């Protein structure tokens, strides 16, 4: 008995010691951080006191297309910025898959690895800020920049953006989250005024930005081109001063999109800290001091119309970021470019992001009996890295789908290629190319048509071919270049046809979807995309991607088209679809999609069971069992949706509130535990102008997509 007491006393003593050491370590860390912050603040104050007004103003506008001014006599360097969200644009390096492909992985850990590659390569090339990620909500299937953004769902965006930003900034590089806010169309983006309710703004369009600021502590943010409720977004007091800086406590600096500032007084007072752009009227000798936030600011301060303290605050924010990233006081990481590890990250994101949409009769993966493959379609050999506008990349190399298939097939499979269609704006079906493609398909064991959208480029003659590109929206959802006729002809020649779709979003498949056995959504999968695609087709990789957006059957089914209103002159855009964006609309209004949000097939099967829900004082704990019941390893994205049964204001049929990607070997199972805090149950009451969580019963739905619910439960709060 005495020995037991002594033993327990010793254990208690050791526990107390460990607890004391833990508290001591935390206190030491907090004290060290406080001292560091105080020291940095003192250094910033000292620098600002030494600067002339002209030097301060020189720091708040561009000094070249991708730099802002520094103060060399005080050791303050220029900021060097670089597009884009998928690669360091200005130099040759790793070309990562686009934002929709990253989001389709539903894997925040890959988001971190993705950001780490960008941060490392930015360091290597001497950049300070990566102009990404782009996280505007995918509201309309026509937006030409959807490929760059991530999802229609604010929760999925929030989880992916935090990983991306942390990955970039842990390398000592600043991320720049963009475009703030409600920049959901490209056509007329320089003029359009977006009108929306406060509830839609808070529930749909701002959560990703809030997570970027309050969770990832993003260093910089870019304002968008459009107006929001009548005021330009890059000089919008409500967005920048009230929400971003006051409510969310944003400490970094706000830069405008290039040329997005329109008025000096509004920009200075309403929260813009750095005006970027290029003065095209002054070529080849641009005078950046003539920007809105240039010499005019000096004159306004000298005349007493603006207090110098307002300018000091902007400079302070820029210096804060410089010190945080060791630009002034510290050692920068050297970084690496296009390493094997970076290439493997590009490959991994593509492997996990490509989505198997359809697989009738298990035609995929291709069996060993397949000896001849007819590959058809311009996108099979077209390199996509240089498309898209500011997201273009100078890829060190790019494996196209045809190259990937030949790499994987080796000498065992005879692979032929036919172009099938021409990439020209307005091009119709080419009878000769279609005839040649159909003939090749008829002689092959399997045909693979690689088509879809093209990754256009809006700053050159390629703009005639731009469908997924900055500055352009698609005219409709119909397949361009006569591809419908091509696919139908190939299917007639060979029913064993696989369709691979490139692009940033949905396309109208109604003319052939009922006849094609297999469809893969490949997005724009980066420099290793061809290899990733081939590995999935041949079964070396089990697909695990899930759609980060709903694919409507036809354009008219999309809520932006069904409920949204745009003025005839395109000057006024009314988000009358409100909070019913994407699956929130399709599921609430009972509209059948072509493919649901969260949809994605696998070469194995999964079983969900044993749902248990426990409501606590602050959190609700959900547990369930997931089992791989198939014969191959695979990953499933278990999605948690919540529905409030009775609410004061209308709410959607269901809303994504949690997810987890689980990798399992055949026959293995895992007890999955998910904890929901009160944020999973609240909504924005725009009558009371606050977030509310109401008492009552909530449905908890666990599923493989928004339309494939496997487990149902309830919790009373």
Q: Which domain covers residue 14, as residue numbers?
A: 1-38
Q: Which residues, at least 6 apart from 191, have a Cβ–Cβ distance to it below 8 Å?
A: 226, 227, 570, 571
Backbone angles phi, psi at 177, to 5 degrees: -80, 140
The verdict on 150 and 176 lying in the same domain is: yes
The verdict on 319 and 380 lying in the same domain is: no
Return d(Cα 81, Cα 322) in angstroms, integer. 13
The verdict on 33 and 68 lying in the same domain is: no
What's the Rg (C-alpha) of the chain?
27
Q: What is the mean pLDDT of the chain?
A: 93
> Is 286 part of a structural domain of the chain?
yes
> Is 568 part of a structural domain of the chain?
no
Residue 40 CB coordination number (10 Å): 17
Domain end among 481, 513, 548: 548
The verdict on 156 and 263 lying in the same domain is: yes
pLDDT band at 373 (very low <50, low <70, confident <90, very high): very high
Domain end among 548, 565, 584: 548
| Nearest alpha carbon to residue 117 among 82, 152, 88 | 88
The verdict on 175 and 290 lying in the same domain is: yes
Overall average pLDDT of the 166-174 stretch:
98
What pLDDT sits at residue 38? 81
pLDDT band at 460 (very low <50, low <70, confident <90, very high): very low
Return d(Cα 475, Cα 467) in angstroms, integer. 9
The verdict on 246 and 303 lying in the same domain is: yes
| Residues 223-281: tens digit of each pLDDT | 999 999 999 999 999 999 999 999 999 999 999 999 999 999 999 999 999 999 976 56
What pLDDT sits at residue 27? 54
| Residues 95-135: tens digit of each pLDDT | 999 999 999 999 999 999 999 999 999 999 999 999 999 99
> Is 555 part of a structural domain of the chain?
no
The verdict on 87 and 1 lying in the same domain is: no
Give yes or no for a contact between 234 and 273, defined as CB atoms under 8 angstroms apart.
no
Overall average pLDDT of the 417-438 stretch:
93
Catalytic residue (one of 83, 128, 257, 578): 257
HSE toward the beta carbon, residue 603, CA cutoff 13 A: 21
What pLDDT sits at residue 410? 86
CATH of the domain at 374: 3.40.50.1700
* pLDDT above 80 (res 10): no
pLDDT band at 458 (very low <50, low <70, confident <90, very high): very low
CATH of the domain at 639: 2.60.40.10
Peptide bond into 574 cis (omega under 30): no
What pLDDT sits at residue 22? 53
Overall average pLDDT of the 138-151 stretch:
96
The residue length of the chain stands at 717
* pLDDT above 90 (res 459): no
The verdict on 145 and 13 lying in the same domain is: no
* pLDDT above 60 (res 26): no
| Nearest alpha carbon to residue 292 among 320, 337, 321, 256 | 256
The verdict on 474 and 359 lying in the same domain is: yes
Residue of higher predicted confidence among 33 and 482: 482
Q: What percent of the chain has pLDDT over 70?
A: 93
| Residues 679-711: tens digit of each pLDDT | 999 999 999 999 999 999 999 999 999 999 999
What pLDDT sits at residue 301? 98
Overall average pLDDT of the 464-473 stretch:
81
CATH of the domain at 116: 3.20.20.300
The verdict on 97 and 135 lying in the same domain is: yes
> Is 423 part of a structural domain of the chain?
yes
The verdict on 72 and 196 lying in the same domain is: yes
Can you say how many angstroms the Cα of residue 407 is from the centroid of all Cα atoms in its chain?
30
Residue of higher predicted confidence among 578 and 37: 578
Return d(Cα 337, Cα 315) in angstroms, integer. 32
pLDDT band at 624 (very low <50, low <70, confident <90, very high): very high
The verdict on 85 and 27 lying in the same domain is: no
67: tokens are 């730099």
170 is catalytic: no
> Is 80 part of a structural domain of the chain?
yes
Residue 299 CB coordination number (10 Å): 13
> Is 576 part of a structural domain of the chain?
no
The string over 250-289, giving b where at least 16 C-beta atoms fall within 10 Å of a residue's C-beta and e elsewhere, is bebbbbbbbbbbbebebbbebbbbbbbbbbeeeeeebebb
What pLDDT sits at residue 7? 59
pLDDT band at 388 (very low <50, low <70, confident <90, very high): confident
> Is 599 part of a structural domain of the chain?
no
Give yes or no for a contact between 607 and 629, defined as CB atoms under 8 angstroms apart.
yes
Domain end among 527, 548, 569: 548
* pLDDT above 70 (res 465): no
The total of structural domains in the chain comes to: 4
C-alpha angle 627-630-634 in degrees, rounded to nearest 5: 70
Ranking 390-399, 400-409, 484-493, 666-675 by mean pLDDT, the lowest is 390-399
> Is 115 part of a structural domain of the chain?
yes
**In sequence order, what are the beta bridge partners of 93?**
395
What pLDDT sits at residue 285? 65
Which residue is associated with the tokens 């390199």?
383
């Amino acid at each position: 008995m005495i020995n037991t007491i002594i033993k327990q006393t010793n254990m208690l003593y050791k526990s107390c010691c460990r607890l004391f050491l833990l508290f001591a370590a935390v206190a030491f860390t907090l004290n060290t951080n406080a001292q560091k912050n105080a020291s940095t603040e003192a250094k910033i104050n000292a620098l600002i006191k030494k600067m002339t007004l002209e030097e301060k103003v020189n720091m708040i506008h561009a000094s070249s297309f991708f730099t802002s001014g520094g103060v060399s006599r005080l050791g303050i360097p220029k900021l060097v910025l670089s597009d884009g969200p998928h690669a360091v644009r200005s130099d040759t390096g790793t070309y990562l898959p686009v934002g929709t492909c990253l989001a389709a992985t539903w894997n925040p850990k890959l988001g971190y690895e993705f950001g780490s590659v960008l941060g490392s390569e930015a360091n290597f090339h001497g950049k300070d800020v990566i102009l990404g990620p782009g996280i505007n909500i995918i509201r309309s299937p026509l937006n030409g920049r959807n490929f760059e953004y991530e999802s229609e769902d604010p929760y999925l965006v929030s989880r992916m953006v935090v990983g991306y930003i942390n990955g970039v900034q842990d390398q000592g590089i600043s991320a720049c989250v963009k475009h703030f806010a409600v920049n959901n169309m490209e056509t007329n983006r320089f003029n359009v005024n977006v009108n929306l309710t406060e509830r839609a703004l808070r529930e749909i369009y701002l959560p990703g930005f809030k997570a970027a600021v309050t969770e990832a502590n993003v260093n910089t943010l870019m304002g968008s081109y459009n107006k929001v409720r009548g005021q330009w977004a890059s000089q919008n007091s409500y967005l920048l001063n009230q929400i971003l800086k006051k409510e969310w406590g944003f400490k970094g600096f706000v830069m405008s999109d290039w040329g997005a500032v329109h008025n000096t007084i509004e920009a200075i007072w309403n929260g813009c800290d750095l005006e970027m752009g290029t003065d095209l009227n002054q070529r080849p000798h641009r005078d950046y001091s003539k920007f809105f936030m240039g010499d005019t600011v000096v004159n306004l301060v000298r005349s007493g119309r603006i207090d110098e303290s307002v300018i000091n605050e902007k400079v302070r924010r820029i210096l804060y970021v410089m010190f945080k990233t060791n630009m002034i006081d510290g050692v920068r990481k050297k970084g690496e470019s296009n390493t094997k590890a970076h290439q493997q990250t590009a490959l991994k994101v593509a492997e996990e992001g490509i989505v198997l949409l359809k697989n009738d009769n298990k035609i995929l993966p291709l069996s060993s009996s397949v000896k001849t493959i007819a590959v058809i379609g311009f996108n099979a050999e077209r390199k996509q890295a240089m498309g898209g506008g500011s997201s273009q990349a100078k890829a060190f190399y790019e494996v196209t789908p045809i190259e990937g298939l030949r790499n994987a097939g080796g000498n065992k499979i005879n692979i032929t290629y036919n172009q099938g269609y021409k990439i020209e704006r307005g091009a119709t079906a080419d009878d000769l190319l279609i005839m040649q493609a159909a003939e090749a398909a008829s002689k092959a064991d399997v045909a693979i048509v690689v088509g879809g959208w093209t990754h256009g480029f809006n700053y050159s003659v390629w703009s005639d071919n731009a469908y997924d590109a900055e500055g352009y929206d698609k005219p409709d959802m119909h397949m361009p270049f006569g591809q419908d006729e091509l696919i139908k002809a190939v299917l007639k020649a060979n029913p064993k046809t696989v369709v691979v779709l490139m692009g940033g979003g949905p396309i109208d498949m109604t003319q052939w979807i009922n006849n094609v056995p297999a469809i893969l959504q490949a997005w724009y999968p980066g420099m290793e995309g061809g290899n990733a695609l081939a590995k999935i087709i041949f079964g070396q990789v089990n697909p695990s991607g899930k759609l980060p957006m709903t694919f409507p059957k036809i354009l008219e089914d999309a809520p932006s088209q069904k409920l949204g209103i745009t003025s005839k002159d395109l000057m006024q855009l009314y988000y009358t679809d409100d909070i019913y964006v994407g699956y929130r609309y399709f599921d609430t209004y009972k509209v059948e999609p072509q493919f649901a949000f969260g949809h994605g097939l696998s070469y194995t099967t999964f079983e969900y069971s044993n749902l248990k829900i426990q409501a606590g004082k602050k959190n609700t704990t959900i547990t369930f069992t997931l089992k791989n019941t198939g014969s191959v390893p695979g990953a499933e994205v278990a999605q948690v949706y919540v529905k409030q049964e009775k609410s004061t204001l209308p709410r959607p049929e269901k809303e994504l509130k949690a997810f987890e990607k689980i990798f399992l070997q055949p026959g293995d199972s895992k007890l999955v535990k998910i904890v929901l805090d009160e944020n999973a149950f609240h909504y924005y009451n725009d009558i009371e102008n606050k977030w509310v969580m109401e008492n009552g019963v909530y449905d908890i739905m666990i599923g493989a997509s928004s339309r494939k619910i496997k487990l149902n439960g309830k919790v009373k709060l």
